[in-house]
Amino acid sequence: MNAPQIYQQRFQASPEFSVRAPGRVNLIGEHIDYNGGHVLPFAIAKGIEIAATPRKDGLFRLYAAQFDETYEGPLAAAKTADRFWSNYVFGVIHEFEKLGHSVPGLDAVIDGDIPLSSGLSSSAALEVGTAWLLQQILGTNLTRMEIAQLGQRAENRYVGVNCGIMDQAASALGQAGRALLLDCNSLQFEQPALELKGEVVLVVAHSGIRRGLSHSAYNERRGACDAAIDAIRQETGKKISCLCEASLEDLEASKAILDNERYHRARHAITEEQRVRETVQALAKCDYQRVGELLNASHFSLRDDYDVSCPELDELTARIRQYPGTLGSRLTGAGFGGCTVSLVKVDAAEGLMEDLKKNYYEAHGMEALVFATASEEGVRTI
């Protein structure tokens, strides 16, 4: 991946600005960012790059190297279902315009190495990368959190996906060797070390299932959680600001007025919040055994209570779990396909990846996509 070089070839000039924004893996805290919970993602080495030069004539000439597709035209004509990638770029441009900035035009090349629909947040990386690029071009002073929020608004309003803040925050705020512990209610955050002391390593493995058609299911889950918190407030009479602030006792007390589905969705959110807190403590003590147990418990809760797993994610995590040296494994991201994250003893990682290539990917006739990953720096100018 080298957007500046492709830009040079395509436009016969050097780009004035180049940026790089990472994808993310969420270690734990799944489907609770929009429930005001704590999440623990980190930025990864895979990401997107944008090389660009502003134009003065209102024309946008964008080239997405990963798809070999272009958009050429004015801002007004930009929204289209065909070039889905350009909606992320224009969504961000619209958000800057709403803040009173005008973006006159752009020649740009976008390239990326995050597999699409894999649960590794290629869209958030593109939004955050575009926002960082415009910040450089326009000379604005948005904080990294404001960049993340702007990216989220672009996705909510322009792309039409009602996502939470986690992915954009991880891409904007990531730090090498650290995770992001984000309180999605207050937006306060800490960046605890994620160095893993050379004992264990995080392995990401794709289920081979692309997360197609998951937006409606995602919105349904959000709806069930919103209904659950209303019911809990009503039944307990407590002023609870978000679902992750409720306790299991509150939930049990409200069981009579919750239907089965809402009860289970809420139980996932409430228990997942507890697991995040415990994971942070276990990581601080280098108690990787416990971290692994919590990752497993998170997966089972996402499978049984939240119902966002699929047979391939279950099979893959089960296979990883039974490999000697694995401490825990779970789906990461929205689910319905996409990737898993697993905590594995360092000397078992190579063997595990070989095992998966043969016994999971080859066995299913799927292309292997498995790699060990560390936490990397967030969006930056290159």
Task: Exactly one of 33, 167, 305, 307 is catalytic; name it.
Answer: 167
Which of the residues 297 through 336 are near ligand GLA (CB under 6 A)? 333-334
Q: Which stretch binds ligand GLA (CB under 6 A): 12-20, 159-167, 261-269, 274-282?
A: 159-167
Applying CB under 6 A, does 71 fall inside the site for ligand GLA? no
Q: Select from 107, 127, 167, 245 the one that contacts ligand GLA (CB under 6 A).
A: 167
Residue 193: Cβ within 10 Å count: 14
Q: Which stretch binds ligand GLA (CB under 6 A): 24-32, 44-52, 278-286, 297-305?
A: 24-32
Q: Are 265 and 251 in contact (CB under 8 A)?
A: no
By C-beta, is 333 or 378 nearer to ligand GLA? 333
| 48: nearest Cα among 95, 109, 94 | 109
By C-beta, is 26 or 301 nearer to ligand GLA? 26
Q: Residue count at the site for ligand GLA (CB under 6 A)? A: 11
Applying CB under 6 A, does 349 fall inside the site for ligand GLA? no
Q: Select from 164, 208, 292, 328 the one that contacts ligand GLA (CB under 6 A).
A: 164
Which of the residues 183 through 202 are near ligand GLA (CB under 6 A)? none
By C-beta, is 34 or 132 nearer to ligand GLA? 34
Annotation marks residue 167 as catalytic: yes
Instruction: Please report, to the nearest 10 degrees, the dihedral formed by the alpha carbons of residues 16, 141, 131, 183 taken in order.
Output: 150
Q: Are 202 and 196 in contact (CB under 8 A)?
A: yes
Applying CB under 6 A, does 273 fall inside the site for ligand GLA? no
Give the residue ranges of DSSP H helices in 305-359: 311-322, 346-356
Burial class (CB in 10 A: 0-12, 13-18, 19+), 356: buried
Q: Which stretch binds ligand GLA (CB under 6 A): 94-102, 163-171, 258-266, 286-294?
A: 163-171
The H or E element spanning position 234 is helix 215-236
- Sequence-distant contacts of 364-370: CB under 8 A, at least 24 apart: 364/208, 364/312, 366/208, 367/208, 369/115, 369/118, 369/205, 369/206, 369/208, 369/339, 370/203, 370/204, 370/205, 370/206
Q: Which stretch binds ligand GLA (CB under 6 A): 23-31, 268-276, 349-357, 360-368?
A: 23-31
Q: Select from 18, 30, 63, 356 the one that contacts ligand GLA (CB under 6 A).
A: 30
Applying CB under 6 A, does 258 fall inside the site for ligand GLA? no
By C-beta, is 213 or 256 nearer to ligand GLA? 213
Phi first, then psi, for residue 190 (nearest 5°) are -130, 160
**């990326």: which residue's tokens?**
112
By C-beta, is 3 or 242 nearer to ligand GLA? 242
Tell me how far, at minimum, the Cβ of 381 lies from ligand GLA, in Å. 25
Applying CB under 6 A, does 166 fall inside the site for ligand GLA? yes
The CA distance from 11 to 201, in Å, is: 42
Give the residue ranges of DSSP H helices in 12-65: none
By C-beta, is 182 or 251 nearer to ligand GLA? 182
Give the β-pairing of 380-381 and 38-39: unpaired
Query: How far from chain centre, in Å, is Cα 105?
Result: 29
| Active-site annotation, residues | 167
- The residues of the shown chain that bind ligand GLA, judged by CB under 6 A, are 26, 30-31, 33-34, 163-164, 166-167, 333-334
